[in-house]
Amino acid sequence: MSSKIFISAREVADRAGVSRSAVSRTFTPGASVSDETRRRVLEAAEELGYHVNHLARGLMRNESGIVCLIVSDVATPYRSALLRELTLQLQNSGKVAMLINTDRSDGSVDRALRQAIRYRADASVILSGLPDKSITQLCLRNGQRLVLINRDDDQPGPLRINLDDYESAGRIATAFLRAGCRRLAFANSEAGTPSLMGRERGFVAAAASMGMDVVVERHGQTGYEAGKVLAQRMLTRSERPDAVFCATDLLACGFMDAARHQFGISIPNQLCVAGFDDIEQASWSSYELTTFAQPVASIAAKAVEWLSMTQLEDSAAEVPSIRLRAELVWRNSIRGG
Binding partner selected for residue 243 from its own copies, DNA, none, CB under the kind-specific 5 to 8 Å limit: none
Whether the link from the prior residue into 77 is cis, omega within 30° of 0, is no
Q: For residue 56, state whether it binds its own copies (rule: CB under 8 A).
A: yes
In terms of CB distance, is 170 or 222 closer to its own copies? 222
- In the shown chain, the binding pattern of residues 288 to 327 toward its own copies, with x for contact by CB under 8 A and - for none, equals ----------------------xxx-x-------------
Binders of its own copies among 152-181, rule CB under 8 A? none
DSSP per-residue string spanning 7-52: --HHHHHHHHTS-HHHHHHHTSTT----HHHHHHHHHHHHHHT---
Q: For residue 114, state whether it binds its own copies (rule: CB under 8 A).
A: yes
Is residue 252 within 8 Å of residue 226, measured between CB atoms? no
In terms of CB distance, is 18 or 86 closer to DNA? 18
Residue 27: how many other CB atoms lie within 10 Å: 18
For DNA, the binding residues (CB under 7 A) are 6, 8-10, 18-25, 27-28, 31-34, 36-37, 50-53, 56-57, 59-62
* Residue 232 beta carbon to its own copies: minimum distance, rounded to whole angstroms: 12
**Residue 65: burial class (beta carbons within 10 Å; 0-12, 13-18, 19+):** middle
- Please identify, among the stretches 17-25, 119-127, 196-204, 263-271, the one whose residues bind its own copies according to the rule CB under 8 A: 119-127
Binders of its own copies among 217-246, rule CB under 8 A? 224, 228
In terms of CB distance, is 194 or 320 closer to its own copies? 320
In terms of CB distance, is 31 or 312 closer to DNA? 31
Binding partner selected for residue 210 from its own copies, DNA, none, CB under the kind-specific 5 to 8 Å limit: none
Q: How many residues bind its own copies (CB under 8 A)?
A: 72
CA distance 239 to 88: 48
How do beta strands 123-126 and 66-72 pair?
parallel
CA distance 75 to 25: 42
Which backbone phi and psi does 116 adopt, to 5 degrees?
A: -60, -40
Selected binder of its own copies within 39, 286, 325, 336 (CB under 8 A): 286
Q: For residue 284, state whether it binds its own copies (rule: CB under 8 A).
A: yes
Query: Measured in whole angstroms, how far is the alpha carbon of residue 242 from the centre of its chain?
Result: 32
Q: For residue 104, state whether it binds its own copies (rule: CB under 8 A).
A: no
Buried b (16+ CB within 10 A) or exposed e, 157-195: bbbbbbbbbbebbbbbbebbbebebebbbbbbbebebeb
Q: For residue 261, state whether it binds its own copies (rule: CB under 8 A).
A: yes
* Residue 61 beta carbon to its own copies: minimum distance, rounded to whole angstroms: 10
Q: For residue 30, state whether it binds its own copies (rule: CB under 8 A).
A: no
In terms of CB distance, is 19 or 298 closer to DNA? 19
* Residue 44 beta carbon to DNA: minimum distance, rounded to whole angstroms: 12
- Amino acid identity of 103? D
Nearest CA to 279 out of 291, 271, 297 is that of 291
Binding partner selected for residue 24 from DNA, its own copies, none, CB under the kind-specific 5 to 8 Å limit: DNA
Binders of its own copies among 74-93, rule CB under 8 A? 74-77, 79-81, 83-84, 87-88, 91
CA distance 280 to 286: 12
Length of the chain: 337
* Residue 21 beta carbon to DNA: minimum distance, rounded to whole angstroms: 4
* Residue 13 beta carbon to DNA: minimum distance, rounded to whole angstroms: 8
* Residue 111 beta carbon to its own copies: minimum distance, rounded to whole angstroms: 9
Give all strands (DSSP E) within the chain, no chain letters: 66-72, 96-102, 123-126, 145-149, 159-163, 184-188, 214-218, 243-246, 272-277, 290-293, 321-324, 327-329
